[in-house]
Amino acid sequence: MPSIVTLAGETFEPDLPKRLLSIAHEIREAGGRAFLVGGWVRDALLGKDCRDYDVEVYDLTQDELVPILKKYGRTNLVGKAFGVIHLAMKGLSLDFSFPRTESKVGYGHRGFVVHTDEKLSFKEAALRRDFTINAMGMELPELTLCDPYGGIDDLKKGLLRHVGPAFVEDSLRILRGVQFASRFALTLAPETVELCKTLSLADLSIERLFEEFKKWLLKPGKPSKGLRAFLDIKLNEFFPEVFPLHESWDALGEMLDNMESARQTLVAEGNALSDAQAMEFAFASFLCGNPGTSLKFLERITNETHLLKIVPLLLNEYSNLDFAIVNNAPALRRLAVKLGGLKLLCLLVKCTPREFYANNACAGDAEFPEKLWQAAADLNLLEAAPQPFLMGKMLMEMGMKPSKQMGELIKQSFELQLDGKIKSADDAIEWVRGFVIPA
């Protein structure tokens, strides 16, 4: 298998399907050249395996390439207008494309005319890409690097720089810059910042906006670097619902980095958040500077009902949290009922920069995050809310018919349970006996 030298100077043998190498050999024998492009190259140079194999084929026409691919599986011209052939094989799928240029002719991300030209040079074809770190290729099968715009140097410098003037033709690239800065701990080049400032996100659908925010906040990385890019481009003016934490953008950046660290720690402990919880935790962390505007922001970028419901509720409780609650079991139980468990709230508190709790005039307790977590854990409230001991079925077995009184008894019993006065189903049955008149 071919190997490469990573940016760290280590020899790395990436995971390459043997079938892909065989196809590359056949393309070469037919007079063509095959390059792995985009994110695969970037990740390989960072010593990371990537299963997203995008192959760009030069010096062969579509009519010449398709018969080669058909030997290996089923071909589908899913992107015929864009020069893309999808190859489906058992246990593997690959996309093959031809070098192309794009011309902006209309509004939005679909307003492009694409021209494929198998005779373009790699440098000419790469000019349409967004950032230099994504404009590299590795020729198969040897994995010879082709880097016409200095992507590897930018990676070494921790710099995110646009390739050329075509960058402005898709405004989504502004947010792609933010999420790439986060995922790879990069800083936007000054000239890229200035170019981004000239663009607007107004032509983008909420679906496209949401996908980039998710990549920023949910993919492993250093989200504070994404926040720095967000602010450098002045996207906080386009999204005025996003506020600094305690009037400090640095504090919000620290909050986001703490969120990412906490999430990875849970994964390492085998206690990972569900996908929905991870999303709620991430967006709550991002919007914690002003809970009152969180819903308005979310409505601008998503229709995900669980986010629209949970994040504002979670942030409201976070911002109004009484530090004395750690010693108030009934209040903790009721809060768990409201939130469906206290894990996300406790994580938000843990991720808040520590000096806030140490310097808070009402509490002055730097250990509050740990105390809150422990109190919730001791009451078994982290994962879920308490469930009523007393159920309608139990009352019916005692001879009670369904009625308004039944509902009231269940409600009263649950309140006593939350107060800690009813501690088991047996306690609930004993309490209710005085109210139940057999039929």
pLDDT in tens, 325-355: 999 999 999 999 999 999 999 999 999 998 7
- Tens digit of pLDDT for each residue in 94-129? 999 999 776 554 444 454 556 777 789 999 999 999
Whether residue 69 sits in one domain with residue 99 = yes
Q: Given this model, what pLDDT does residue 250 score?
A: 96
Could you give the CA distance from residue 59 to residue 75 in angstroms, rounded to a whole number?
Answer: 20
Whether residue 405 sits in one domain with residue 311 = no
354 found inside a domain: no
Of the pLDDT bands very low, low, confident and very high (cuts 50, 70, 90), residue 50 is confident
Q: Given this model, what pLDDT does residue 424 score?
A: 93
Whether residue 281 sits in one domain with residue 249 = yes
Q: How many domains does the chain have?
A: 3
Q: Given this model, what pLDDT does residue 361 score?
A: 47
87 found inside a domain: yes
What residue type is assigned to position 26 of the chain?
Answer: E
Whether residue 83 sits in one domain with residue 20 = yes
CA-based torsion, 386, 389, 390, 392: positive or negative:
positive
Q: Given this model, what pLDDT does residue 104 score?
A: 53
Whether residue 199 sits in one domain with residue 92 = no
Question: Average pLDDT for residues 37-51, to the nearest whole number?
Answer: 92
Whether residue 175 sits in one domain with residue 110 = no
Helices 343-351 and 329-339 pack at an angle, to 10 degrees, of: 100
46 found inside a domain: yes
- Tens digit of pLDDT for each residue in 361-372? 445 577 899 999
Whether residue 145 sits in one domain with residue 203 = no
Question: Average pLDDT for residues 74-98, to the nearest whole number?
Answer: 83
Residue 360 has pLDDT above 80, yes or no: no
44 found inside a domain: yes
Whether residue 315 sits in one domain with residue 183 = yes
114 found inside a domain: yes
Whether residue 294 sits in one domain with residue 202 = yes
CATH number of residue 101's parent domain: 3.30.460.10
Cβ-Cβ contacts under 8 Å for 357 (sequence gap 6 or more):
363, 365, 366, 367, 368, 369
Domain boundary among 320, 338, 354: 320
Domain boundary among 295, 320, 345: 320
351 found inside a domain: no
More confident residue, 401 or 28: 28
What DSSP string runs through 54-89?
A: EEEEES--HHHHHHHHHTTSEEEEEEGGGTEEEEEE
Residue 359 has pLDDT above 70, yes or no: no
Whether residue 222 sits in one domain with residue 179 = yes
Whole-model pTM: value is 0.90
Question: Average pLDDT for residues 203-221, to the nearest whole number?
Answer: 96
188 found inside a domain: yes
Q: Are the beta carbons of 256 and 289 closer than 8 angstroms?
A: no
Report the Cα 26 to chain-centroid distance in Å: 38
Q: Which domain holds residue 246?
A: 171-320
Whether residue 97 sits in one domain with residue 68 = yes
- Tens digit of pLDDT for each residue in 162-174? 999 999 999 999 9
If you search the block for the tokens 């079925």, which residue do you land on?
393
25 found inside a domain: yes
Q: What is the mean pLDDT of the chain?
A: 91
Secondary structure of 26-43 in the HEC alphabet? HHHHCCCEEEEECHHHHH
Domain boundary among 115, 150, 185: 150
Whether residue 420 sits in one domain with residue 302 = no
Q: Given this model, what pLDDT does residue 436 score?
A: 61
